[in-house]
Amino acid sequence: MTDNSKGQQISLEAKDPFELRINHGQHVSETEVRATLASGDMGFVHSFTTGSTVDGPGVRVVAWLTGCQFRCVYCHNPDTWRMTNGVPVTVDRAKAELRKYRHGLKTMKGGFTVSGGEPLMQDRFVVKLFTAARAMGIHTALDSNGYLGGRLTDEDLETIDLVLLDIKAWDPERHRRVTGMDVDPVLNFARRLAALKKPVWLRYVLVTGLTDDPEDIAQIANFATSLGNVQRADVLPFHQLGAFKWKQLGIEYELRDAAPPSKETVERTCAQFRTAGLKAY
Ligand code: SF4
């Protein structure tokens, strides 16, 4: 199968995930998509980026996959929502892409992170990528909203060194308001990772007036601390770098006038995580 309907191969490398990418896999039939998801022999990839220092320890190569079942009102990459916006890529091509960086990643004590979108929409592909990365001696990290964590067996989880778990809100109604989905599966996945003693970095996107409620944050901070496997909390201040994507995709963007949170609010939120006993950045 070729990358697009014209039979051309599309480069997987992007400067960053803010490149708008759409319709690259629209020629793939639904039957093929289903077969692909079941086997994991092919996946849909927005892009590969290099040089990240925020998506796990050291310097990372990040594979941004397409497909997400959340509809976060602050999403920076709504072009990753539809799986067939991504480039259809065989697992062998993705492995070859990763292989290019393996020596550098080891030297820089970095690794390979799979993000999205929501990577677990393509769980079999993700496990194949991580298995390959491990065979190359590369550290692996999964960046996930956690909702589909139940798709991973304990054996699958053994291919993952670190989970970057996004908890979007504590209060169920707020979670639904922010993401359109329930919070319980996310928290259940967090508990399961704790039972397995899997290292986790918690990620929390901070938006003024939406996710800056101190009580909600305290609940998340206390929950994360109680788990015992959360190594740090990363507070991610909302920004508008992805705003142009909403516009170009013609999706109503309710945060179009929202400003990034103030330095004080970011510091206060980090302080809440620290008070609960976590390192926070
Ligand atoms: S989970 Fe991530 S990719 Fe999905 S809608 Fe939310 S922010 Fe966007």
Tell me: the pLDDT tens digits for 105-122?
988 899 999 999 999 999
Which pLDDT value is given to residue 15?
78
CA 98 to ligand 1 center in whole angstroms: 24
CA 253 to ligand 1 center in whole angstroms: 14
CA–CA distance from 18 to each of 14, 31, 249, 276 (Å)?
A: 9, 30, 13, 33
What's the rounded mean pLDDT across residues 202-229? 98
Residue bearing the CA closest to ligand 1, atom 7: 75
pTM over 0.85: yes
- Res. 144 pLDDT band, cuts 50 70 90: very high
Residue bearing the CA closest to ligand 1, atom 3: 117
User: Percentage helix, strand, coil, to 5, in the chain?
Assistant: 40, 20, 40
What sign does the CA torsion over 144, 165, 143, 268 have? positive
Pocket test for ligand 1, best of 55, 118, 120 (most atoms within 8 A of CB): 118
- The per-residue pLDDT of the chain, averaged, comes to 95
Which pLDDT value is given to residue 5?
61
CA–CA distance from 119 to each of 145, 239, 250 (Å)?
A: 9, 22, 24
CA 202 to ligand 1 center in whole angstroms: 15
The vertex-241 CA angle with 240 and 244, nearest 5°, equals 90
End-to-end Cα distance, the chain? 43
Which pLDDT value is given to residue 4?
62
Place of tokens 């922010």: 178
